[in-house]
Chain A
């Protein structure tokens, strides 16, 4: 069982960062769902709950999602639905249950960079940037691949675009971790194909997506599917083998493309 010697509800990000840097045993508290299952004994748990970072807001050209926004708030947000369709509700509905998703936060999900993260898969298919306290603004893919320095994820910023989206996943049971997850989007004739839980974290199949036109025929789709499994790496874990994941990737990506083209 994890432990905390101290709990601090901070009044500012400056205070949170100062505390975070004071000791490697200090930690930012997200939804606590993973942390409480570990055995690590932390010194200070830093709570950002009082900083108003649990909001989804709109600017002229982006939708901003604060790090403390619960996943349930995202999946039921009319604003997110208006701009990105049912992407988030479809992506999140398999994550344990409503009570879990009322706790799990955007920041905790993204900062942890879990391979199985449906949150990261969905965000990867959009034009998403991550705002960090120290490192500033980086693209989501940059964030996922950069050295994991201690920092505070403040918010995700998604560019507002006329985008069509679709999310596909395969799970052994309805609320288990995904065996594979796929998010597909089409914006101004440009496709994005994100494949997560390979079992490594979500990545874009860029070459494959470039093969597609706005209304691809069967031949182009087949070439794209072949390219997806050649371009991305697929591994084996207790849920599935790499070969099975490759077969699954072709099926789910095809379903995603077809759903958008319909």
Chain B
């Protein structure tokens, strides 16, 4: 079957198998930031946005993104770099394997919350697992990131 979709604002028309999963589709097109961590819809590593909403690409049929917009980390380079910097300064980047999915979900959270509380952050990111850290350094980094966003909002 043939699908047409936009990935990171670029149009792709491809013939695909009916049971191809979105994660394998985007990786086949070179978007290798999207990774398979658990294969049980639990780890959040494969997070992409479909029509601006964060989803697990390991659990979406590629056929279902026909005529939709998909965003991967490669499409958010500047924003991702900024979040990555905050993570690195708090020592939250260890092996880095989970970072693309985490950053995609942090940026999705930013679209929903202007000033998320600690509880909001914990709940929103509960589906992003990290095997290296105890999440404390990530939480510090995310709070710092949102604090700075708050300052930026006030200065607008």
- Seen from chain A, the residues whose Cβ lies within 8 Å of a Cβ on chain B are 2-7, 9, 29, 31-33, 36-37, 45, 47, 49, 72, 93, 96-100, 102-103, 174-175
Which residues on the A side are within 8 Å of B40 (C-beta)?
A: 37
Instruction: Given A32-B60, A47-B64, check contact A99 B44 (CB 8 Å).
Output: yes
Q: Cα distance A99–B57 when bound, in Å?
A: 9
Instruction: Given A7-B1, A7-B18, check contact A97 B55 (CB 8 Å).
Output: no
Q: Cα distance A72–B124 when bound, in Å?
A: 11
Question: Among the listed stretches B4-12, B78-86, B89-97, B125-133, which one makes contact with chain A, having 4 or more residues with CB under 8 Å of it?
Answer: B125-133
Which residues on the B side are within 8 Å of A175 (C-beta)?
A: 42, 126-127
Q: Report whether A102 and B54 are in contact in the complex, using a CB–CB cutoff of 8 Å.
A: yes
Q: Report whether A6 and B18 are in contact in the complex, using a CB–CB cutoff of 8 Å.
A: yes
| 122-148 of chain B: CB within 8 A of chain A | 123-128
Partner of B19, one of A3, A96, A100, A102: A3
Q: Cα distance A45–B20 when bound, in Å?
A: 12
Is B32 in the interface zone, CB < 8 Å from A? no
Q: Cα distance A99–B38 when bound, in Å?
A: 14
Partner of A29, one of B1, B61, B105, B108: B61
Of the A-B pairs whose beta carbons lie under 8 Å apart in the complex, a sample of 9, sorted by A's number, is: A2-B19, A4-B19, A4-B61, A7-B61, A33-B56, A33-B59, A36-B41, A93-B123, A96-B126
Closest to B41 in A: A33
Q: Cα distance A5–B17 when bound, in Å?
A: 8
Instruction: Classify the interface of chain A: helix, strand, loop or mixed.
Output: mixed
Closest to A6 in B: B18
Q: Report whether A102 and B61 are in contact in the complex, using a CB–CB cutoff of 8 Å.
A: no
| 19-54 of chain B: CB within 8 A of chain A | 19, 21, 39-42, 44, 47, 53-54
Q: Cα distance A49–B41 when bound, in Å?
A: 20
Closest to A2 in B: B19
Chain B's interface size range is: 20 to 34
What 7 additional pairs, Cβ within 8 angstroms, besides A96-B41, A100-B59? A7-B61, A32-B61, A36-B41, A47-B63, A49-B64, A99-B44, A103-B56
Q: Cα distance A37–B40 when bound, in Å?
A: 7
CB proximity of B103 to chain A, nearest CB, Å: 13
CB proximity of A251 to chain B, nearest CB, Å: 23
Q: Report whether A99 and B56 are in contact in the complex, using a CB–CB cutoff of 8 Å.
A: yes
CB proximity of B46 to chain A, nearest CB, Å: 9
Closest to B17 in A: A4
Q: Cα distance A180–B135 when bound, in Å?
A: 27
Which residues on the B side are within 8 Å of A36 (C-beta)?
A: 21, 41, 58-59
Instruction: Given A6-B18, A33-B41, A37-B41, check contact A99 B61 (CB 8 Å).
Output: no
Which residues on the A side are within 8 Å of B53 (C-beta)?
A: 72, 102
Which residues on the B side are within 8 Å of A9 (C-beta)?
A: 63, 66
Closest to A32 in B: B59
Q: Cα distance A45–B18 when bound, in Å?
A: 8
CB proximity of B43 to chain A, nearest CB, Å: 9
Q: Cα distance A7–B55 when bound, in Å?
A: 20
Which residues on the B side are within 8 Å of A5 (C-beta)?
A: 18
Closest to B57 in A: A99
Which residues on the B side are within 8 Å of A29 (C-beta)?
A: 61
Which residues on the A side are within 8 Å of B109 (C-beta)?
A: 98
Q: Cα distance A93–B126 when bound, in Å?
A: 9
Q: Cα distance A47–B1 when bound, in Å?
A: 14
Q: Cα distance A100–B127 when bound, in Å?
A: 8
CB proximity of A17 to chain B, nearest CB, Å: 20
Instruction: Given A7-B63, A33-B41, A174-B126, check contact A100 B18 (CB 8 Å).
Output: no
List the 5 closest pairs (A to B, CB-CB), nearest first: A97-B127, A7-B18, A4-B19, A7-B63, A4-B18
Interface string of B99-129 (1 = CB under 8 A from A): 0000001001100000000000001111110
